Amino acid sequence: MFDTRLFSFIIVICVSFTLPATVDLIPNEYFKVQSRTWDQAIVMAKLFVSQLTLEEKCNMTAGVGGACVGTVFPILRLNFTGLCFQDSPSGVGDGVLYSTAFAAGIQIAATWDRDLFYQRGVAIGKEFQGKGVHFALGPMMNIDRNARHGRNWEGFGSDPYLSGENSFAYVQGVQDQGVVATAKHYICNEQETNRFHATSRHRIQENPSNSEGYSANLDDKTIHEIYLWPFASSVAAGVGSVMCSYNQINGTQACQNNKTLNGLLKGELEFLGNVMSDWYATKTGVESVLGGLDIDMPGDGLMGFTLVQAVKSGAITEARIDDMVTRILASYYLVGQDQGYPSLDLDRDAIGDNHKINRQVGTAGMILLKNTNNILPFNVTTDKYYYIYGSAAGQSADGSGSGGSTQNGGALYQGGGSGFVHPTYNIDPITSLMAKGRDFHLEIQYITNQYDYNDINSSFHARGFTNAKCLVFICAYSEEGSDRTDLHPLNDGDKLVRLVASGCNNTIVIVNSVSQLNLEAWIDLPNVVGVIWSGMPGSEYGPALVDILFGDYNPGGKLVFTLAKNDSDYGTDISPTYESNYTEGVFLDYRHFDKYNITPRYYFGYGLSYTNFSFSQLDISKASNEKHSASVQYRERLMRPYSNFGSSRLYEPVYEITFIITNTGKVDGSEVPQLYLGFPAEAEEPPKVLRGFERVYLSAGESKQVTLILTQKDVSYWNVVNQKWTVAPGTYTVWISTSANNADIKLQSSFNV
Ligand code: BGC
């Protein structure tokens, strides 16, 4: 146990750790990665810039036409062939051939498994690099503030800490392959409604100053503690690029926002890479350049060559142009793209064996929500008869073509918009279930026309139905550019579940959803005995689901948002106007439910397993400098030549939290212990906030000691008066829990500072 008398102050540990010149990376087929430190990369970039004319430099600050969704001007006389920027966060997008549609951001987050976060990043990075793409336009880390936001599926859920951990690992996975990652969309891009001036033409005429995207209006504490947090993690990881968003922040457009770009990002976070605009998010030339924007994408005349005149007239200094181009090229040198990077061929097959990691992520991110009397997993010897209902069980009638997995029926592998990856193949649940049926002699029938109520009713009288397991597939789709109109499944999915449950006492619902869904129409029906949240699992959906249904994989995913009983319980929603007021402050998702004592249907962090776990021996100690200590290992794991932890020491370990977890059941499985922290009153924090987690895999009967690290930032709050991350004096409570539900807390202790 932690002795509070010994630790009256947090002492920041001052360790100097030497950066390796190169890191040992997963062997790479195409390209030997030699990444560099920012200092080294900046020296090289400056040398390059010193050889350019003013015209060449300005040309590099805006996109030009090319094969990629964004292209930076080549300087052929210096053997610089330009830069290719390409979507998306979940694989190489924009309609290219030979691409893996990876399990989406929301799915990888639901695995709560840092090794998988990283391995997925590596696999994605390999495909970008194999095609010769220089910048991957991901990760997407906007917070799931609004359940209906059309792009929630691209991001990592509602918690900043969880999003930050995901962003960090993604950046390293991608950049370890020599590809520059792009953290987007900076910042407070939490809705699609009114994101763009094109939808508000009448307002432009009325008042030109309102011609831009909606304004996210929020205070200093909230932006630091919630929305900036994952971007800060990306910068610490060493991200090369940040994409500014369509919206305004407190009345100023994101891509010319001096406060958020020059102040927070380049100043406070010490970001050394470049800021690129989201596509057509640049509204001005000179003002944006002065506000901190470095590249205009895809380039429509506001920057680029136009800036030559601005320099000549004195509106912009040439030093600022040099800074912009240095920032663009620094990220190129940082990840070693000058060392024989593959030539550009967007349709080159660089898939390798990425289906393996994709299946693993798809499976690990599925969440078991309900399992009455252990109906799951099925037993191939005794459970012989299956009836499948719902169009979301099979392929869409439209194929998985352009613009997103269709909303017109069919299993959903990803959501739509620029984040969608045109998949080389997709395996739907019916296909995989049939293969299982072939191998184990299972009787499998299906009805995918979910409006054929007569057929569904007749199925209840089919031969053998009495013992059938009924699998009902429902889905919810969304895409970039619009928000969902409600939180219900497509195509009367609620009605489908109710109908099947009226005739089948072994109804298992599979929820294939982009983000939050309201389950209340059927969740309490006694015949609904099982619910699996299959999420947005990518191309390997079918195999991943079948592994879970039959117990070849013991589910261990956890919700990355709360599932409310009433939509209004979330307390936040899409703003229908051009002002989106973040009046909830830091009380978002479980922090809000805690504050107002609202009981949700399922808590943030919740998810069942086919086995059980016990917890013991919680201990809190100060971070150690011993060679093999958890703190030292933690630091080593995070380090890369290109890391950018800045001068703040905020990412230094300050506490080690240890405990024992045991698999007390009969099958192997995993649990995700979650560390929630309670702050002293001065911090004005929610009752508890997530500050640590680890997915622990245990054989039946096995025990492991788990160590979670609390960093200086983890125990700090943003002090708006001092403008600093500050440790609040008083008692901190540490809870180890299996969800944000207080009833799931397993261990509790405290420390004083
Ligand atoms: C999206 C970005 C994307 C860009 C390029 C924009 O509409 O918001 O996420 O990277 O297009 O396709």
Dump pLDDT digits (tens) for 91-131. 999 999 999 999 999 999 999 999 999 999 999 999 999 99
- Which neighbouring-strand residues pair with 86? 136
Question: Can you tell me the distance from the alpha carbon of 483 to that of 96, in angstroms, rounded to the nearest whole number?
Answer: 26
Query: What are the residues whose beta carbons fall under 8 Å from the beta carbon of 713, sequence distance 6 or more?
Result: 650, 651, 725
Query: What are the residues whose beta carbons fall under 8 Å from the beta carbon of 47, sequence distance 6 or more?
Result: none
Question: Can you tell me the distance from the alpha carbon of 237 to that of 233, in angstroms, rounded to the nearest whole number?
Answer: 6
- Which neighbouring-strand residues pair with 244? 186, 277
Q: What is the pLDDT of residues 172-198, one digit of tens each?
A: 999 999 999 999 999 999 999 999 765
Q: Return the pLDDT at 464.
A: 87
Q: What is the mean pLDDT of the chain?
A: 93
Return the best residue to mutate from 90, 296, 418, 478 for the ligand 1 pocket (most ligand atoms within 8 A of CB).
418
Q: What is the pLDDT of residues 197-219, one digit of tens each?
A: 654 434 444 444 445 799 999 99
Q: Return the pLDDT at 32.
A: 63
Q: Return the pLDDT at 30.
A: 53
Q: What is the pLDDT of residues 418-464, one digit of tens each?
A: 999 999 999 999 999 999 999 999 999 999 999 999 999 999 999 98
Ligand 1 centre distance from Cα of residue 349 (Å):
23
Q: Return the pLDDT at 212.
A: 78
Ligand 1 centre distance from Cα of residue 30 (Å):
27
Residue owning the nearest CA to atom 6 of ligand 1: 279
Q: What is the pLDDT of residues 679-736, one digit of tens each?
A: 999 999 999 999 999 999 999 999 999 999 999 999 999 999 999 999 999 999 999 9
Q: What is the pLDDT of residues 273-295, one digit of tens each?
A: 999 999 999 999 999 999 999 99
Residue owning the nearest CA to atom 3 of ligand 1: 418
Ligand 1 centre distance from Cα of residue 383 (Å):
47
Going from the C-alpha of 460 to that of each of 214, 450, 451, 453, 494, the distances in angstroms are 51, 15, 16, 11, 18
Q: Return the pLDDT at 401.
A: 61
User: Hey, which bits of 623-730 come out as E strands?
Assistant: 653-663, 669-671, 674-678, 689-693, 696-698, 703-711, 716-719, 724-727
User: Hey, which bits of 428-468 come out as E strands?
Assistant: 443-447
The set of protein residues with a Cβ atom below 6 angstroms from ligand 1 is 69, 87, 137, 184, 278-279, 418
* List 278, 294, 296, 483, catalytic entry: 278
278 noted as active-site residue: yes
Task: For residue 324, report the phi and psi dihedrals to the nearest 5 degrees.
Answer: -60, -50
Q: What is the pLDDT of residues 546-556, one digit of tens each?
A: 999 999 999 99
Residue owning the nearest CA to atom 5 of ligand 1: 279
Q: What is the mean pLDDT of residues 48-70?
A: 98
Ligand 1 centre distance from Cα of residue 243 (Å):
9
Q: What is the mean pLDDT of residues 392-402?
A: 81
Ligand 1 centre distance from Cα of residue 165 (Å):
23
Cis peptide before 187, with omega less than 30 degrees from 0?
A: yes
Return the best residue to mutate from 245, 247, 278 for the ligand 1 pocket (most ligand atoms within 8 A of CB).
278
Residue owning the nearest CA to atom 7 of ligand 1: 279
Q: Return the pLDDT at 448.
A: 95
Closest CA to 73 of 311, 328, 312, 320: 328
Matching residue, tokens 């005429």:
205
**Whether 714 contacts 737, CB under 8 Å:** no
Going from the C-alpha of 694 to that of each of 12, 368, 708, the distances in angstroms are 24, 18, 7
User: Helices 160-175 and 229-237: crossing angle, nearest 10°?
Assistant: 20
Closest CA to 398 of 371, 378, 416, 384: 416
Question: Can you tell me the distance from the alpha carbon of 541 to that of 394, in angstroms, rounded to the nearest whole number?
Answer: 11
Ligand 1 centre distance from Cα of residue 4 (Å):
50
Matching residue, tokens 């970001």:
271
Local confidence band at 300 (pLDDT 50, 70, 90 cut-offs): confident
Measured from the CA of 189, which atom of ligand 1 is nearest? 8
Going from the C-alpha of 335 to that of each of 177, 197, 483, the distances in angstroms are 8, 36, 36
| pLDDT more than 90, % of the chain | 91
Q: Return the pLDDT at 284.
A: 94
Residue owning the nearest CA to atom 9 of ligand 1: 418
- Least confident piece of the model among 1-10, 47-56, 430-439: 1-10
